Structure 1
Amino acid sequence: MHRTLRTAIAGAVTAAALAVGGTAHATPAGPGVSGRVISQTTANGTDYILREVTIPPGQATGWHYHDGPLYGVVEQGTLSHYDSTCGTDGVYRTGDTIQEPAGVGYVHIGRNLGDTPLVLVVLYVLPHGSPFSQDAPNPGCSFE
């Protein structure tokens, strides 16, 4: 099923890119975390960006939030996801999908607690020109 979702997301972004045009570009990632833009387009003031994100074993995304919703598929590894209460709000394994709501009210962190790289394919739906994420301070959790 995750391949089907990935194919559907990639198809939607590619179709929008062909209809509207646009260029892909990457922004710097946090230490140990890398990202690669697969496809990007803008339509009606919204950026649709399909990106592959890799988090090495023992690493994390850092505390952040997004200006628009995010939809992802775990391609490899396990994502341990925490919200601003320092509690886990999900553990996602290969093939699982994840959705993150938009806004400063949803500060969170993704961690790779496993021993293999974590690879996510993520669709960002952002107001035009917004960064992939906005940094946020640690809400007081002892693990980051």
Structure 2
Amino acid sequence: MNRAKVAGLGLAALTVGSLAVVPVSHSTPPVGAHAVTLSQNTVDGIDYVTREITIAPGGSTGWHYHDPTVYGIIRSGTLTRTLANCQVDGVFPAGSAVAEGQGPGHVHVGRNLGTEPLVMWVNYVAPAGTPLAVEVPDPGCGFA
């Protein structure tokens, strides 16, 4: 075998070996969650969206963050919100108002740790076309 082929094979082996050790991050999609859009309007380039989100007992929103302004109310059940540092930052029973921080510095997961469905009405306000949420990998808390 000539030197060019040997060098090429060595580079290919190095590349494959490098790919094998690169961790692959996967987002954590919602589990047992269902959303229905109740209202959606765009006015002067701003989207106004209201959704009813239902999470089954044991379910979650999956890890995510919001670029839009997000606020809502818990209609029934209890929402437990955990931040990327794995600390619970709020337990919100029925009737509670909830607001979310904006941007990738506010990664969180909402879980239904109760025995009845969690129902929330959630409002989003953002520049037209902005995704309502961005799914991200579990930051190391070991649950979705």
Q: Which bracket does the TM-score occupy, shorter chain normalised?
A: 0.7 to 0.9
Q: Letter of the 1:79 partner, please give it.
A: L
Gap regions ≥5 residues in structure 2: 1-28
Give, in angstroms, the shift of residue 86 of structure 1. Answer: 0.4
Question: Is the radius of gyration larger for structure 1 or structure 2?
Answer: 2
Does 2:36 align with 1:36? yes
Q: Residues 1-144 of structure 1: matches in 2 within 5 Å?
A: 30-144=30-144
State TM-score, norm by structure 2.
0.77
Percentage of matched positions with identical amino acids: 47
Moved over 3 A (4+): none
Deviation at 1:68, TM superposition (A): 1.1
Matches of 2:121 and 2:41, distance apart in 1? 16
Match of 2:9 in 1: none
Gaps of 5+ in 1: 1-28
Query: What secondary structure, in the 3-state scheme, does the structure 2 residue paired with 1:105 have?
Result: helix
Deviation at 1:142, TM superposition (A): 2.3
Query: How far apart are the structure 1 equivalents of 2:128 and 2:65?
Result: 16
**CA shift at 1:44, angstroms?**
2.3
The answer for the alignment partner of 2:24 in structure 1 is none
**1:21-51 Cα shifts (integer Å, max 9, x gaps):** xxxxxxxx83421001111111222111011
Q: Distance in 2 between matches of 1:31 and 1:110?
A: 10
Aligned-residue CA RMSD in angstroms? 1.2
8 Å CA contact 1:50, 1:123 repeated in 2:
yes
Structure-1 separation of matches of 2:42 and 2:110: 27
